[in-house]
Amino acid sequence: MSIHQGFRWGAVGAAAILALASAGTAQAATKTALDKGGAFCLQVGSVEPGATEVVLALDIDPADHPPTKRKLWWVSGYEQGSNPSVTADNYVDTISGTATLGKPNDGASGAKVIHMGLTGIGNGTNADSDGPGVWAHTYSLQLKPKSLNGRITGFSVFTPISGGTDGEPMTTVVDERITQIKCKNV
């Protein structure tokens, strides 16, 4: 090997190391509203007169966990529904999950989004049921990294319980726009 070949391979090696280093820090360089963690409130759908307002109140840890290929946030909080004119639509259910930053799913083009998966549970009633039961929630959110606006899809399943026996589960599909709001009075 001549000195010129050694220099050429040395230059190629240095370029490869720089490319790998910049690829590893590209993820970390993406700024999001969640980076420092804190309290965040997201309104599900739009609130029209007489409708139930549904809000996710979330406590999100900073993305300071051991280094991985993607940022990872731990999420916990509650889903709150409020409607002064419909008693059955006033509730609080706990939710928890994780969030990460990545390209949109299903091969869709576009900028990176925050992918958040939440599950939750709570007891309550349903307007279509005569008694109490259990609500189970499974949600997937895709949010813009800076505004936290985006979409929530998933299911809420109500299972009535009477006399120690469960009834027929009733599933509600959730497919709504979601918007960050101030956490005041939530």
Q: What is the CA radius of gyration of the chain?
A: 23
pLDDT by residue for the chain (186 residues), tens digit each?
444 444 344 444 444 433 434 344 444 457 899 988 999 999 999 888 888 889 999 999 987 766 677 888 999 999 998 888 877 678 899 999 999 999 988 778 889 999 999 999 999 888 777 788 999 999 999 999 999 999 999 999 999 998 889 999 999 999 999 999 999 877
Q: What is the CB-side half-sphere exposure of residue 141 using CA atoms within 13 A? A: 29
Computed from CA positions of residues 22, 70, 64, 149, in that sequence, does the dihedral angle turn out positive or negative? positive
**pTM to 2 decimal places:** 0.79
**Distance spanning both ends of the chain, measured CA to CA:** 71
Would you kindly state where each structural domain of the chain is located, as residue ranges? Answer: 1-30, 33-181
Whose structure tokens read 């370029």?
Answer: 15
CB distance 15 to 153 below 8 Å: no
Q: What is the pLDDT of residue 105?
A: 86
Q: Which CATH class is domain 33-181?
A: mainly beta
